[in-house]
Amino acid sequence: MNLLESDGVRVVVHDAVATVTLTVPERRNAQTPAMWRSLAETGRLLPGDVRVVVLRGEGRSFSAGIDRRALTPEGLDDGFSLLKLARQTDTELDAAIAGAQEAFTWWRRPDLVTIAAVQGHAIGAGFQLALACDLRVCADDAEFAMRETSLGLVPDLTGTHPLVALVGYGRAVEICATGRAVRAAEAERIGLANLVVPRQDLDAAVADLVAALLAAPRDAVIETKTLLRSATTQDYDAQRAAERAAQARRLRDLAHLGE
């Protein structure tokens, strides 16, 4: 089922799997506010029986970040420009950034497991979109970089929290402050990439991972993902209590199924 095709985003749903594809290969899937609105809308439109979402980019690159035309006074075709945005009031500016962030937040929902299939460049906003997903399967030519600081900006599309969680504070500072490239082999070594495969094997590796994720009962996956999220914020005793409560729910559900 074709769920959406708009502003550089195509969404196809097949059974319990949704595939979200960035479809602007001629611009290396550079991101725009219109694309962000379509990505945010995708999260609202997904059918309730979808369990896994795969995020891809057409062409040579996953996403080369924000469309650089947005950094010019002329801006994008629709007139959007970061320089114009900077002249808005504090309230308007905060609302605009919050609206952009909506494209990056729903990937963490407990009822979904989300996978970024990354090839080529994942730069800036592209890096942050990959970080928004639960898992990252990378081709061996994948290259991550957080270039915002080099432009005098900061990563503001929800990428700082998962980056620190994955690689630690010190390495996150180094990656962001220098803007350097993190290539596939290093990404796997430091925990950014769950798996790195030859470029020609990327689709097959993602398909294998999707099949493995769908093999487990959905409610158990949801409870487990919720527990793992809370483990990053709760202390040891609170997490033990959360585990007990989650297991009690699962045991009762399984007992009920067996009656």
161: domain CATH number is 3.90.226.10
Q: What's residue 258's pLDDT? A: 63
Question: Are residues 54 and 27 both part of a single domain?
Answer: yes
Q: Which two tokens mark 179?
A: 């803007």
Question: Are residues 169 and 84 both part of a single domain?
Answer: yes
Question: Are residues 145 and 30 both part of a single domain?
Answer: yes
Q: What is the pLDDT of residues 145-186, one digit of tens each?
A: 999 999 999 999 999 999 999 999 999 999 999 999 999 999
Question: Are residues 181 and 232 both part of a single domain?
Answer: no
38 phi/psi in degrees, rounded to 5: -70, -40
Question: Are residues 225 and 184 both part of a single domain?
Answer: no
Q: What's residue 259's pLDDT? A: 65
Q: From edge to edge, which strands make up the β-sheet containing 143-145?
A: 121-123, 143-145, 182-183
Question: Are residues 143 and 244 both part of a single domain?
Answer: no
Share of the chain above pLDDT 90, in %: 95
Please name which of 65, 62, 4 lies closest in space to residue 30, comparing C-alpha atoms. 65
Residue 22: domain span: 2-215
Q: What's residue 79's pLDDT? A: 87
Q: What's residue 120's pLDDT? A: 98
Contacts of 69 (CB under 8 A, 6+ apart): 75, 76
Question: Are residues 60 and 116 both part of a single domain?
Answer: yes
Q: Could you tell me the pTM of the whole model?
A: 0.96
What total number of domains does the chain contain? Answer: 2
Question: Are residues 168 and 238 both part of a single domain?
Answer: no
Q: Which two tokens mark 253?
A: 């559900």
